[in-house]
Structures are given as structure tokens and as C-alpha cells.
Amino acid sequence: MRKTIFLLSLSLLFLACNSTVPAEKGLTAVHYFDLKGYMAKEAERLNAGKPEIQKTVIVNAAAESKKMKISDWTKELSVFSDADINKSAWQGMFKVLRKSNEDIYSTSDEKIPVKSLVVTHHNGRVKSIKVLLNTTNILYSSNDTLSYFPDSLYEIQKTQHIKLLNEKNYRISGLFIK
């Protein structure tokens, strides 16, 4: 009888431990808008559809623009995926303000580079995403604004200042051609 109770207890212990396996494999719980998952689905959809875009790159005042088809949307949109706020260390660090058609996630924590994520939606569909990033340390400061409008436009604006060097301003935009 004691052996049976011991084996049953041991089995329950192993089953209880098994529930933590997804976290150990790198899967994190989603507490806020799943930006990483959303951008992965968008990249998959865009890779299949192969839309043509007008891509413009501006560094300070120099601009270059051309029509093109992006071969790897996962790579192209990775800056958005990298701004995901569902990191386990950031759990509970964001304030959430929900309006009728907008969800705003914000933090003032200096250690978190993502300062805000604003998701605008209509009838359950994402209409726009805007992310504000700020990284500052003793040698470097960077302010980024990421904007994504499905099937319309994506834009990355960056202001970068490295001590003893001039400030640089970047803007990359992709306008979907219909």
C-alpha cells in the first residue's frame, strides 16, 4: 500500500513538473498584445502574396527609392517582432489602457527599451501598430518609431546619437503598391 501511494505521489509530481516544459522550451506566456506572433503571421501572409512595394531609405538628407518585391518578410519586419513586450522579465511592467478601438501598452521603466505599443483595431482586425523605442546609455542614445499599417505602409524612423559624433536620422518606409 505504501509503495502504491509513493508511486502515485511520484507520478503526480512528474505530471506537475511537466506543465513547466513549454516555458523551458522558450515559449513565454502572452500577457499583452502578441506583436511577435502577429508579425510572424503577417510575414507568412506577405511571403505568400508577394506584394510589390515602393521602398524608400533616407539617411539624414540623402534619399533613395525603388520598387521591389521583398523576398523575406520575416527579416524585413524583424524590427517589429524584436519589439515584442511579452518577455517574461517584463511581465507586469506595462500599463494597459484599453479604449473602444485602441489598446495602449506603456512603461516608464528605464531598463525596457520599448516605451509604448499602440494597437488600433476595428471589428477585430488590426488597423495599425505604433511602437516607440528608447535606448540610452553613457555613450549612445537612440529613439525609434515603428509604424505598421497592414497592406498599406510600414515605416521605421530612427534618431541616433553617439557621443563625439553627429546625430544621424534614418527613415525606412515601404509603401504597398496596389
28-43 confidence digits (pLDDT tens): 577 899 999 999 999 9
Tell me, what's the pLDDT at 72? 95
Average confidence (pLDDT) over 61-81: 95
What pTM was estimated for this model as a whole? 0.81
pLDDT value at 8 more than 80: no
pLDDT greater than 50 at residue 96: yes
How is residue 55 written as a grid cell?
521602398
9: confidence class by pLDDT, cuts 50, 70, 90: very low
What is the mean predicted confidence (pLDDT) over 85-107? Answer: 94
d(CA 82, CA 79): 5
pLDDT in the model for residue 122: 93
Report, as an integer, the average pLDDT of 65-92: 94
**H-type alpha helices, the chain:** 2-18, 21-24, 35-49, 73-76, 78-81
Q: State yes or no: pLDDT of 12 exceeds 90.
A: no
Question: Which residues, 6 or more positions from 19, have their beta carbon under 8 angstroms from its beta carbon?
Answer: none
DSSP label at residue 44: H
Choice between 54 and 26, residue whose per-residue pLDDT is larger: 54
- Averaged pLDDT of the chain: 86
How is the chain split into domains, by residue range?
Answer: 29-176
- Work out the pLDDT band at 24, boundaries 50, 70, 90: very low
Question: E strands along the chain, which residues?
Answer: 52-59, 62-69, 95-98, 102-106, 114-122, 125-136, 140-149, 153-162, 168-176
| pLDDT at residue number 28 | 56
Model confidence at 22: pLDDT above 80? no
Band of the pLDDT at 163, cuts 50, 70, 90? confident
